[in-house]
Structure 1
Amino acid sequence: MSVTEGTVPLRGHRTWYRVVGARRPTGQVPLLVVNGGPGCAHDYLDDLAALPEETGRPVVFYDQIGCGRSDHPDDPSLWTLETFVAELAAVRETLGLDPVHLLGHSWGGQLALEHALARPRGLMSLVLASPVASAPAYQAETRRLKESLPTGVREVLDRHEAAGTTGDPEYQEAALAFYGRFLCRLEPWPPHLVRSFTGMNRDVYETLWGGVEWNLTGSLADWDVTARLGELDLPVLVTSGRHDVATPALVGAVVAALPRATWTLFENSSHMASAEEPERYRRAVGTFLADVEAAESGARAAA
């Protein structure tokens, strides 16, 4: 399987990318993958790198600026939503991804939504994986999930949050109880997931999102595009896990607001369905993308 790597220029810095699978003029439309975080490398989504071998479809990954193999500039002014939306557009332009399918997971789904709402040329479909369309609604759900943790765990979390000692190892260990239930239920976590999260750029995460999932203090704390989802008149596959931090209630509201959305719920997954149920996940995505292209081809033939 062919693999091509390179960089895309972005405001004097470099964004690293990897293309898995050969791109052919008459082949299947590439899938561009936008990972979550903010502040993580793409590695935890590497199960999707098997799609080209299974379906013949090229898949493009990139590490967002400040993360992974991309440049890590010491410039806090870069950590804005606008920077990362512009980066997504720059990756598309530099690699000639027109047409393209776009898959955004979690925070990457926020970037995918912002990109799609700008009505870019050549966007054939969206895959929104465990999406967030409203930060306030997300915070309300994550606080509810936190309250479902065992009493002893909650007491540790609450005590350190009140004291401002969330860097304490006791707090970090207690927070793992939340992540082990609602982020990834595999035990142990697979190496590619561990790589992404142990290498997280905390400055990016805390500037945009905040200290923990149930206490959003970053610049995106009020971000909400729910009222605009009806503008997205293109095929959308929404995926999420039964035990997801992006809960079925939260995701169901997103699906209801999208004019042309279908929803696949992974019963044995939390937030990382592509890693927790990788074969089924790739099958769902691959089938959706093939159906979108078949419908597009049929519409052209009938015109």
Structure 2
Amino acid sequence: MHPAPSAKGTVPFGEYRTWYRVTGDLNSGKPALVVVHGGPGSTHDYLLSLSRFAASGWPVVHYDQLGNGGSTHLPEKGADFWTPRLFLDQLDALLRELGIADNYVLFGQSWGGLLATQHAAARPSGLRGLVVANSPASYPLWLQEMKVLRDQLPPGVNEVLLRHEAAGTTDSPEYEAALMPFYEKHVCRIKPWPRDFLASIMELNNDPTVYSVMNGPSEFHVIGTLRDWGVVDSCPDVSVPTLLISGRHDEATPVTVQPYADLIPDVRWEILEESSHMPHLEEPERFNEVMETFLHGLL
């Protein structure tokens, strides 16, 4: 069970609403740990275990990005609306509305790591540290490495995937079934999948607008608006201490993470040996240890 929230609700983001959840005391004196989830188009649920850091005095803020979960859904909006800038502006608005823009740490997971890096590159005065977890530095790098991982799938699997991708039938049950060997090896290696992870998958399936527009039909068939996007050029502008986290079996392979390590000035990188894309669920004790060490070092 996760700790009960100390507050939750929605705050305005222009004409829309952002759902948030706070665990702990935002006035504790320690920076708030703001959790930026992946997708794009997922929800906060699969990262709820990070609420445990409230027990060490770090107030933890989860929120749902626009278009999913408890935040405003906009299924009628098209590709010109769903941009990285939209989600950066939503994050800025959340920090202001919660009164934590002068003292916070960002934790960005997967797509959330790219967002958090772009935010950090603007050098906001209240940012104390950055955690980039399981994140590629660019989608062109991601696609390059997806081909490597796909070629390692069991015989025949990639052929099924390629056939449906070429035909535009990625909504077929056969395509969905063929995805599973990849997801079980490179996304989450726990069987059965944890309830928090399943909750986010269900939310994404309930409204796939953001994921389908920005990403595409699957993790490794990125044909959406993000296909040419990345934050490699922003990495040198990150001026706060930065922790990189990835899993040895991660779909975000070392090649996709390397630019962060090469270009962010104050950076350390921890690879969790028994994890793929969800180390906080797959190796929670080691993950928590790495996080606690990093957070303590920010004080």
Match of 1:35 among 34, 37, 42: 37
Structure 1 partner of 2:232:
226
CA distance in 2, matches of 1:22, 1:80: 32
Q: Percent identity?
A: 44
Which amino acid letter does the alignment assign opposite residue 92 of structure 2? Answer: A
CA distance in 2, matches of 1:140, 1:263: 22
CA distance in 2, matches of 1:85, 1:253: 21
- How many Å apart are 1:2 and its aligned residue? 5.2
Structure 2 partner of 1:167:
171
Which amino acid letter does the alignment assign opposite residue 93 of structure 1? Answer: R
CA distance in 1, matches of 2:194, 2:277: 14
Match of 2:269 among 254, 259, 263: 263
CA distance in 2, matches of 1:66, 1:134: 23
2:96 equivalent to 1:93? yes
Q: After the TM superposition, which parts of structure 1 deviate over 6 Å for at least 4 consecutive aligned residues?
A: none
Distance 1:248 1:141, change over 3 A: same
1:13/1:73 contact within 8 Å kept: no
Q: CA RMSD in A?
A: 1.4
- How many Å apart are 1:155 and its aligned residue? 2.0
Q: How high is the TM-score relative to the length of structure 1? A: 0.92
Q: Deviations over 1:15-73 (max 9, x none)?
A: 10000012235x321100000001111100111111112x1211000011111111212
CA distance in 2, matches of 1:74, 1:21: 33
- How many Å apart are 1:166 and its aligned residue? 1.0
For structure 2, the 5+ residue unaligned runs are none
CA distance in 2, matches of 1:91, 1:9: 8
- How many Å apart are 1:11 and its aligned residue? 2.5
2:169 equivalent to 1:186? no
Distance 1:246 1:164, change over 3 A: same
- How many Å apart are 1:271 and its aligned residue? 0.4
Match of 2:126 among 122, 126, 132: 122
Number of equivalences: 291
CA distance in 2, matches of 1:104, 1:187: 25
CA distance in 2, matches of 1:252, 1:264: 12
- How many Å apart are 1:239 and its aligned residue? 0.3
Alignment of 1:141-160 (within 5 A): 141-160=145-164
Distance 1:143 1:241, change over 3 A: same
